Every structure is written in structure tokens, then in C-alpha cells.
Amino acid sequence: DAGVIQSPRHEVTEMGQEVTLRCKPISGHDYLFWYRQTMMRGLELLIYFNNNVPIDDSGMPEDRFSAKMPNASFSTLKIQPSEPRDSAVYFCASTLRPGPYEQYFGPGTRLTVT
Amino acid sequence: AQTVTQSQPEMSVQEAETVTLSCTYDTSESDYYLFWYKQPPSRQMILVIRQEAYKQQNATENRFSVNFQKAAKSFSLKISDSQLGDAAMYFCAYRSGEFGNEKLTFGTGTRLTIIP
């Protein structure tokens, strides 16, 4: 399997622009997670899905952020409008089932908002 | 809410030596899972080792082992025979055992340097 796929790997955009990050989980995995990593806040969970349904979005910072999972093989994280403080590395992860099972992370998208 | 604390922002070890990274956590739950993830410069997050709280035996994976002290809420990672490829950020993480709660809570990380 190719692992979790994220695109783009790097994104540079200007403040106020819309940004869309994409993720393809490992085939057959029922859970998908979006994380954000910054120097100030470390790694934090933004939202996760089970069978394409959002389960916990308490980590989504504000209304400018939205996430969707239209089918089992694709998810998006959208920021509109983007702000410089959104600059971070955004990771997508997936896992087959709950409990002790490993969350497999994608390579991340480094977002820079100028 | 659960918290995970890694008190060592940076550690260094001589190649082939042993190093221990510390992690403590705070929870009121009795059922949970603990993980160590490695993040090399490529930034890819890689699972190193996991521990189920109900298991008394400490987990081991080749050169990596943990010292799990449930009463003390401590979960340290020992790396034996350190290799240059072990250089990375190491994150301790907690997941509740509550069904349906899949949130991973991470510590702030320890940057490990291997000295040749």
C-alpha cells in the first residue's frame, strides 16, 4: 500500500486566500484524523472521522476551518480565509480500528501564509 | 482532560550507548494506550512502540523498550545501542481506552541527537 497520501506537500499563499489540503487514507481504514503541528502548540488533533462521519471536531480552531470526507478514500481540510497564524504543518492520519492500533501518518503539508 | 509531559526538550547520546527519554501523563482513566512516535527530519511520524495500560509487561521492539509505571503515570522510552538513524524528535502520546474516543494527545517532544 502507498500509505497515507497528502497533497500538496508545500503550500505558500497570501493572507485572505482559500487553502485546501487533501488526504487519501490507507485503503480499508475506517478512521481519518487531521492534526496540526506548530512550534508553539506542538501536535494537536483538529478533527477525526469514522466511516466518513465527523466524530470530534472540538480541536478545529475557528469557523475559518472546515473538513469534509465525501467518501472513504478522500478528505479535505479547508481554511478560508487564511491568516499568517495558520502557518503550520498539517498531518493526515488513518487507522483501521480503534484502540491500540497504530495511526499511520501522511508526510504532512507545510503551509505558509504570508 | 489528559495531559502528556515530556520534560526533556533535548537529549544527546553517544553512538552505541543507551539513552532513556522520559514521559509522564495525567489521567483519571484506568484503561488507555500509550505510544512513542518518532519524527525524523523528513517529518514523517513513525510509530516506535505502544503499550496497553492493562498489560503489566513492558513492551519491547528490538532496541526499543519502555518502562511503564502505571501508578506513577510514567512511560519512559529506552533506546539501546543507539544508531545515527535514531536521531529524531520523539513524541509520547496518550489515547483513551473509552470506546469511540480516538483522540491522540501528544507531549511536546524530545529532540534526540546521536553523537558519532
Give tens-digit pLDDT for B44-83.
999 999 999 999 899 999 999 999 999 999 999 999 999 9
Q: Please name every residue paired with A106 in a beta bridge, in sequence order, or none if there are none.
A: none
Chain segment A23-67, per-residue pLDDT in tens: 999 999 999 999 999 998 899 999 999 999 999 999 998 899 999
Given a contact cutoff of 8 angstroms between Cβ atoms, the answer to whether A108 and A5 are in contact is: no
Residue A34 contacts B where some CB pair is shorter than 8 Å? no
Residue B93 CB partners (closer than 8 Å, separation 6+): B4, B34, B35, B36, B37, B104, B105, B106, B107
A26-35, A92-101, B3-12, B86-95: segment of lowest average pLDDT: A92-101
Is residue A99 predicted with pLDDT exceeding 90?
Answer: no
Residues from chain A contacting residue B45 (CB–CB below 8 Å): 91, 93, 105
Percent of chain A with pLDDT over 70: 98
Q: Name the residue of chain B whose CA is nearest to A106's CA.
A: B44
Count of CB atoms within 10 A of residue B100's CB? 9
Label residue B1 by pLDDT band (50, 70, 90).
confident
Instruction: Verify whether the Cβ–Cβ distance A50 to B47 is below 8 Å.
Output: no
pLDDT at A57: 93
Rounded CA gap, B11 and B20, in Å? 9
Between residues A96 and A10, the one the model is more confident about: A10
